[in-house]
Structure 1
Amino acid sequence: MPVRLPETAAALELRHAVRDWLSRYAPTGVVAVGLSGGADSLALTAAAVVEAEVVDALIVDHGLQSGSDAVAAEAAAAARALGCRTARVLAVTVTGGGGLEAAARRARYTALDAARDRLPVLLGHTLDDQAETVLLGLARGSGPRSVQGMAPYADPWGRPLLGVRRATTRQLCADLGLRPHEDPHNSAPEFTRVRLRTEVLPLLEEVLGGGVAAALARTGEQLRADGEVLDELAGKLLRAAGDGATLKIETLATAPVAVRRRAVRAWLLDGGAKALTDKHLRAVDALVTDWHGQGGVAIGGGVAGTRLVAAREHGRLTLMALTGGRHH
């Protein structure tokens, strides 16, 4: 049986957030929860076991700190005490490039995806996390898509708490007498997100008079709604301009720039492009609207030993895999 939640303001806010998410995205009420043992995921688990039909807890042990196995075991025990049907610890090895944060994230999501048994996985990202994500997107400067933040649901990942402050999850843990694990990485200044959390956002709140985190999250939500409309229009443009492998320049050139660039981006990604930047998109767009005989644009991606090149040929955009100057 799930633990009965006290009727505190924090408990009611989290229950409503989870209930609204479930009604929209998981009406069957059967979900998994990614549980780290921190306050956000503990509070989410507590609310989920009350509002959902069945909750399975998935705990990732990254093995990055001494005693991480004990922390994971404690989180699993808390999940069972709260009323989860199952609680599994997933041990992972963190490797690969891009820094420790990125490598740990890849390992975590891979493990959760493999263990979820086709269930949606609820994650404890809060409004504060959303604000940090929007700020990171602003720094990348890759257009509106980079500042949309996290979606409430991007199959299979669910984020019911994007409208809930981090202070509220901590309060629910206090209300329940839970002692969340404090990950030392969450206060390590060598991580960019930690400095945003501990230095940048508090300074913005002070200088701008408060409400900054909520405003950033709201901006991301509005941009995401706009982006969905633009994506739909871009899909229609792709169908009108494309024959599968190439795109008709004349059709692309008459489309609004925001729609055209989204269509070209989707086409490049479908063709195997990776790590697209604003510079890539502008260069490919210039093949459509500002062509004066320039050569193709090299795009990251393709199979090993090849590189992708977008070019203009006979009134169409083409995407070719080249090896040593030869087409594939």
Structure 2
Amino acid sequence: MSPRRPDSVNRARRAVEAMLDPEGLTLVACSGGADSLALAVAAAYHHQRSSGPLAQARVGAVVVDHQLHPESEQVTATALAQLATLGLAPLVSLRAAVDPSSGVGPEAAARTARYQAFAQARSEAGASRIMLAHTRDDQAEQVLLGLARGSGTRTLAGIPATRGPFRRPLLGLTRADTEEICADAQLVPWQDPANADPQFLRSKVRTRILPFLEAELSGSIRESLARTAQIAAEDAAYLEEEAKQVFAALLEDPGAQGQLRMDLAALHRAPPAIRRRVIALAVVAAGGATPSYERLGAVEKLLLAQGSAGPVELEGRLSAHRGTRESADYGKLVIVPRLN
């Protein structure tokens, strides 16, 4: 009698099934580590099924070499070889152009380069979706990082299961589950030394902070943090939808090109959670980047009748000011491009 398949395999297959493109090509992003190899194993089960709702679904993979490790070429080659044994096609291999002088830190620079490579892979292969192998452990780490930054509900919501072309079906599985899936498939995952290097903040959370919290606070802290992310995501989605409606109602006919105006009094009456989101939507609509909490707070102060009328400098070379009594913008919050 054949050995019983681990339950983690079946759970991964079901989770992947729900997120595959049933009529097109989905690429699995694979680094060669346990999480992404396990995702590839689960996805391979559904590749070109002979019948059923996924009969037209195709699954390939993309391997991105960040060129940050002396053995990166060998790691990439090994990952591609293991993916080939799973029958995935096409297999796309790309090198990421990581800019260490970008000033955003090595992790952020690598992420930017990685997602640029993903976009290239989708275009070259004609894929509609890319699956990423984040797990419940990654979700717990993300929530802790969000708490440390004090970044609000959206950050506490952690890693989204779906965003644009990206799907993350393994958020309900643990890192131990993915290691079990690899062992069952007789695959040998790569152990990235950066994952245990405490000079990287996420690695420090993974190797020191979470184990400490498990020992001193609760053995189920990872599950609790992941549950917090799910609740926060639902709350944030509701608030953001409400904010979009308020923003649409408050946005006035644009004046000069690139300028945006909203009624000060009406914006001030909105609840703080909605008000801050409306301001952020306005900044993005004007061509800027999502403002920091500090910048949002500075713009909120403009809504008061007393104090400075601005301008407040914003991300994306924009500024916000309150229209003065002498101007046609009296009673308006105005967001405009900065001149310098």
Q: What amino acid sits opposite 2:27 in the alignment?
A: A
TM-score (norm 2): 0.88
Residue 209 of structure 1, CA deviation:
2.4
Q: Return 227-236 or 110-119, whichever deviates more.
A: 110-119
Q: Is the 8 A contact 1:33 1:56 kept in 2?
A: yes
Residue 274 of structure 1, CA deviation:
2.7
Q: Is the 8 A contact 1:38 1:183 kept in 2?
A: yes
Question: What does residue 239 of structure 1 align with?
Answer: 248
1:97 aligns with 2:103: yes
**Partners of 1:250 and 1:28 in 2: CA distance:** 50
Question: What does residue 142 of structure 2 align with?
Answer: 133
Which residues in structure 2 correspond to 1:217-296 (within 5 Å)? 217-243=226-252, 244=254, 245-274=260-289, 276-289=291-304, 291-296=306-311
| CA 291–58 in structure 1, closer or farther in 2 if over 3 Å, else same | farther
**Partners of 1:6 and 1:108 in 2: CA distance:** 37
For the residue of structure 2 that corresponds to 1:282, the secondary structure is: helix
Residue 47 of structure 1, CA deviation:
0.2
Residue 190 of structure 1, CA deviation:
0.6
**Partners of 2:184 and 2:305 in 1: CA distance:** 62
Q: Per-residue displacement from partner, 1:174-211 (whole Å, max 9, x unpaired)?
A: 11111001111111111000010000001111112211
Question: What does residue 74 of structure 1 align with?
Answer: 78
Aligned-pair Cα RMSD in Å = 1.7
Residue 29 of structure 1, CA deviation:
5.9
1:47 aligns with 2:75: no
Q: How many equivalent residue pairs? A: 312
**Partners of 2:4 and 2:116 in 1: CA distance:** 35
Q: Is the 8 A contact 1:6 1:175 kept in 2?
A: no
**Partners of 1:266 and 1:92 in 2: CA distance:** 31
Q: Return 141-150 or 48-57, whichever deviates more.
A: 48-57
Q: What amino acid sits opposite 2:215 in the alignment?
A: E
Question: What does residue 26 of structure 2 align with?
Answer: 31
Residue 6 of structure 1, CA deviation:
6.7
Residue 300 of structure 1, CA deviation:
2.1
Residue 275 of structure 1, CA deviation:
5.7
Q: What amino acid sits opposite 1:316 in the alignment?
A: K
Q: Is the 8 A contact 2:251 2:261 kept in 1?
A: yes
1:151 aligns with 2:160: yes
Residue 257 of structure 1, CA deviation:
1.3
**Partners of 2:295 and 2:195 in 1: CA distance:** 34
% identity of equivalent residues:
39
**Partners of 1:110 and 1:97 in 2: CA distance:** 18
Q: What amino acid sits opposite 2:36 in the alignment?
A: S
**Partners of 2:305 and 2:132 in 1: CA distance:** 44
Residue 118 of structure 1, CA deviation:
4.2
1:312 aligns with 2:300: no
Q: Per-residue displacement from partner, 1:266-323 (whole Å, max 9, x unpaired)?
A: 1112222236211111111121246434422111212xxxxx2101111111112222
List runs of 5+ in structure 1 lacking aligned partners.
Answer: 303-307
**Partners of 1:48 and 1:98 in 2: CA distance:** 33
Question: What does residue 305 of structure 1 align with?
Answer: none
**Partners of 2:167 and 2:67 in 1: CA distance:** 25
